[in-house]
Amino acid sequence: MILIDNNSSKALYEQIYDELTRLILSKVLKPDEKLPSVRELAAMIKINPNTIQKAYKSLEENNYIYTVKGVGNFVKDSIELRSIHIRNMEEKLSEAIKSLKELGLNDEYIIDLVRKILKPNVG
């Protein structure tokens, strides 16, 4: 279900967050489906429960899941999530473009770079 790379420079809670968003957006986890409890997931992937809690908190803050007190965490509706995810990706893309511009790269270079990413086997 959730793949963790212990050699990654990415924090464990971020990896869990990324894996759960992937499962939600690919509809492996269905809307209103209950997620494993913090302790259950911690035991499954052998990670500290605080790390799982941090990932769940981030997922809730970004509207991927919702919490029912005393019951658990549940997946939000995927149609709404898709638009949220697209908005989040637009923000990340905007930040990346801003960083490239701060390095002095011009618009044409950045556009060519995006084209190469979109069609990696061409030219």
CA 75/CA 68 separation, integer angstroms? 11
- Same domain? For 89 and 37 the reply is no
- Same domain? For 107 and 72 the reply is no
- pLDDT score of 78: 67
23 in any annotated domain: yes
- Same domain? For 55 and 100 the reply is no
Residue-by-residue pLDDT tens, the chain, 123 positions: 788 888 899 999 999 999 999 998 888 999 999 999 999 999 999 999 999 999 999 999 988 999 999 999 999 986 777 787 788 889 999 999 999 999 999 999 999 999 999 987 754
- Same domain? For 96 and 110 the reply is yes
Q: Which of 53, 73, 54 has the alpha carbon at shortest distance from 64?
A: 73
58 in any annotated domain: yes
- Same domain? For 67 and 20 the reply is yes
- Same domain? For 21 and 68 the reply is yes
Q: Evaluate if pTM is beyond 0.75.
A: no
5 in any annotated domain: no
Residue 36 sits in a domain whose CATH number is 1.10.10.10
How many domains is the chain built from?
Answer: 2
Neighbours of 89 (CB within 10 A): 10
Residue range(s) defining the domain that contains residue 91: 80-118
- pLDDT score of 122: 54
- Same domain? For 103 and 71 the reply is no
